[in-house]
Amino acid sequence: MWRLLRYEGGKTLVEDASRTSRHLGLLFIGISQELGDLLRDDRARNLATNSAIKIILGNDPSNFDAIRDACGLTPQEMSAIAHLTRKNREYSDAFFDPSQDVSWCGQTCST
């Protein structure tokens, strides 16, 4: 994802796809290890804002305000994100937000 966001055309692609894919019955998946990559650009931020499902791994606390604002998360959800941990090459805790009604915190494992 970060490579696309380095170029004006890539930013336009991400913005257009994130805004229109759901209305066309399509699935657009954007993945970035660093959510800050998306949240630094207004157009790319639409991917996080318009996503029906969000899976958030541990992030740098300097990104927390932007994550909260872009994803519309509550203080309780942000607290869960702040406590996510990981062990390189073994696992990473994840915050899963499929909708405004249901949230889940768990762990992803590498195999």
Residues 6+ apart with CB under 8 A from 44: 5, 11, 14, 15, 37, 38
| pLDDT tens digits, one per residue of 43-102 | 777 777 777 788 888 888 998 998 898 888 899 999 999 999 988 888 888 888 776 554
Separation CA 31–CA 2 (nearest Å): 9
pLDDT above 70 for 105: no
Most trustworthy range by pLDDT among 6-15, 27-36, 37-46: 6-15
Residue 111's pLDDT is what?
A: 44
Residue 67 CA: distances (Å) to CA of 33, 60, 75, 109: 13, 10, 11, 23
